[in-house]
Amino acid sequence: MRIEKKPPAERRRHANLARQFPALAAALVIFLAAAGAAIAQEKPRFTFEEDVATFAVSQDNKIACAVPRMKRIKKIVIERDDVWVVTPSGGRKRILEGDKFMPAPPPTQFVVDSLAWSPDGRRIAMNMTVQVISTEDTSAINGGKQIALLGEDGQEIKVAGSKSRFIEDAWNGAWLADGQTVVYLTGVGPFKIMRVRPADGKITELFEGHTFDAVTWDTKKNQAYAVGRNLSISGRLALVQLDLVNETVREISRLEEFFGRLSVASSGKRVGYFENGDTITVIDVANPQKPTRVRAGIGRFEFARDEPRVLLKRGPEEKSGDLVWVGLTDGSFRPILHALLVRDFRITPDGESIVVTDPGRRILKAYPLQ
């Protein structure tokens, strides 16, 4: 075997470059190491090869996924979504088949808007838009927002007294910690908060006389955080803590501005929102007089388990964007997943993984969280 040796002059030139530009050599080493780490991180823990319209992660890291299914009936095409559950190890099971759940006739379609697990991971609230379409006049459409209730294996939990089996004229449903009671919103905004026990169908309006501009649930603690203008004596815009069992209201902070995207940390101790189109404001519930503000640009964010940072998908919520860690104390920005675009994301409750859907077909993937 012949080994070619570099000419002495070339060897001397390379050695001189290394001595003259040590920073360049060090940067090259760091770049190669980072590239190796990037390649390793790009491999997902598992992939679910379906078009996932929306998904939710339970406290024990199961993922409920809504998968659109289209069906032609005479002259019209209707949608009836399937629901799958994907386990933390990547196992998957279809728990609801749309055609069997909403049989024809009449040609009724339902589109899953969002899914929510109960705190114990044994039940699902399926928020959906239901429409009855005439095969003779496709412009004649009746329906609205309804909530279907499911067990973890897809068995339907019917609501006593409901004509449609579901909670009617309702959206953003969530199970309370007892696994027997559901809270939800009604109205087009400001919203009312309602509560129902499916077993007896009894519906109660909570916090009667109050309406809410935004609500985020923390049902494992039977509470919610909300923003509204008629929640305090002064009538000013305020952030409040709501006890969903005892119907008590605690004012946390008066707000000068509120742009939306209300979010609560998994501990329930911090609440965040966009103060305007550029600034995330985070309030410590125990010390609300000193809010933290960081300029980040609009998007949707979730708190990390360590809470001094949030993960932000930049850009409009209905469009794909990249993901960045935003430091709440230092204002730092650190991209993850190598600035790949994602359609949606969730941090798993254990803080160890991130679940995303791709742009386009919306294939679901789970990655280790860095």
pLDDT digits (tens, 9 = 90+) for 89-145: 899 999 999 999 987 667 889 999 999 999 999 999 999 999 887 666 555 456 799
Fold of the domain spanning 256-370: Neuraminidase (2.120.10)
Q: ∠ CA(274), CA(277), CA(279), 5° rounding?
A: 50
pLDDT at residue number 106: 72
Higher pLDDT, 232 or 157: 157
- Whether 236 shows a pLDDT value over 50: the answer reads yes
Domain residue ranges of the chain, discontinuous segments joined by +: 45-175, 256-370
Q: What percent of the chain has pLDDT over 90?
A: 73
pLDDT at residue number 134: 66
Q: What percent of the chain has pLDDT over 70?
A: 85
pLDDT at residue number 33: 37
Cβ neighbour number for residue 84 with a 10 Å cutoff: 20
pLDDT at residue number 152: 95
pLDDT digits (tens, 9 = 90+) for 21-76: 444 343 333 333 333 333 334 689 999 999 999 999 999 999 999 999 998 887 78
What's the pTM?
A: 0.85
Give residue 51's identity as a one-letter amino acid code. Answer: D
Query: Residue range 79-98: average pLDDT?
Result: 96
Among 163, 214, 164, 206, CA closest to 182? 206
pLDDT at residue number 135: 63
- Whether 343 shows a pLDDT value over 90: the answer reads yes
Query: Residue range 331-335: average pLDDT?
Result: 94
Query: Residue range 143-157: average pLDDT?
Result: 94
259 CA to centre of own chain? 18
pLDDT at residue number 287: 94
pLDDT at residue number 72: 85
pLDDT at residue number 21: 43
pLDDT digits (tens, 9 = 90+) for 238-253: 999 999 999 999 999 9
Long-range contacts of 71-79 (CB under 8 A, 24+ apart): 71/99, 73/104, 73/107, 73/135, 74/107, 74/135, 75/135, 75/138, 76/107, 76/133, 76/135, 76/138, 78/107, 78/108, 78/109, 78/133, 79/109, 79/110, 79/111
- Whether 233 shows a pLDDT value over 80: the answer reads no
